Amino acid sequence: MKNAPPRKGPTVAAKPVAERAKRLVVLVSGSGTNLQALLDEIAAVGAEAYGAKIVAVGADRENIEGLARAERAGLPTFVRKVKDYDSREEWDAALAEAVSSYEPDLVVSAGFMKIVGKEFLARFGGRFVNTHPALLPSFPGAHGVRDALAYGARVTGCTVHFVDDGVDTGPIIAQGVVEVRDEDDESALHERIKEVERRLLVEVVGRLARNGYRIEGRKVVIQ
Ligand code: GAR
């Protein structure tokens, strides 16, 4: 039997090229365990599958474990200290410029203990994510854990939210709940919050990056 002529297969539409991994700049001020959780997840599943990769880590101070973690991961780092600038506005513009040079899709404040200003928000508003160790709108500010304990709250937790021009007032993306124990001090409670927080941040950033999102007033809709 003669060989049959090669049959033309059905026309298959070209697969859409996989969306590139989104670019993240992470800002830190301290131990950087939230940063580490992001690094570990991306290393475990790969940037493409996670939907994002960290392209740089910035800080407002030197000699912190957060920067050391970034360096060990081979990432570029930068430091912009408030005291090196004549005004808070100049610092804010310098921070915005440094972040911008890495062309991020999302900026993540993972324990970054500074309030950014107008210039930063003009460039990164709507794509600047913060994690806070309390259930906002309760206990905003620099001492979310201490303030919840002092108040006598029986549950607290963490909030991942977009940053707006208030202090921890931006649209909430996700929250995790942690029970307060009678024997808790600030450090024990913060450690338990951080266990929940790291998982939540990794999950939220990945979903934002992979699925896209829109902000409708105070609601964040992940597509
Ligand atoms: C986290 O608990 C974060 O929510 C908090 O700092 C910790 C950083 O931990 N941020 C704030 O309090 C901001 N107001 P890490 O350096 O180990 O990731």
Whether the predicted pLDDT of 4 surpasses 70: no
pLDDT tens across 114-134, in order? 999 999 999 999 999 999 999
Q: Residues, the chain, total?
A: 223
Angle, alpha carbons 160-47-36 (nearest 5°) = 50
Query: What letters, b where the CB count within 10 A reaches 16 and e where it falls short, cover 146-155?
Result: bbbbeeebee
Ligand 1 atom with minimal separation from the 110 CA: 18
pLDDT band at 156 (very low <50, low <70, confident <90, very high): very high
Position 9 scores a pLDDT of: 47
CA 197 to ligand 1 centroid distance, Å: 9
Topology (CATH level 3) of domain 20-124: Rossmann fold (3.40.50)
pLDDT in the model for residue 6 = 52
pLDDT at 16 over 70: no
Ligand 1, atom 7, lies closest to the CA of 111
Residue 43 has pLDDT above 60, yes or no: yes
Per domain, the residue ranges of the chain are 20-124, 131-161+176-223
- Angstrom distance (rounded) from CA 105 to CA 101: 12
Per-residue model confidence (pLDDT) at position 19:
73
State the CB neighbour count (10 A cutoff) for residue 137. Answer: 12
Phi, psi of 163 (to 5 degrees): -90, 130
pLDDT tens, position by position, 192-209: 999 999 999 999 999 999
State yes or no: is 161 an active-site residue.
Answer: no
Tell the CATH superfamily of the 131-161+176-223 domain: Formyl transferase, N-terminal domain (3.40.50.170)
Distance CA 130, CA 109 (A): 5
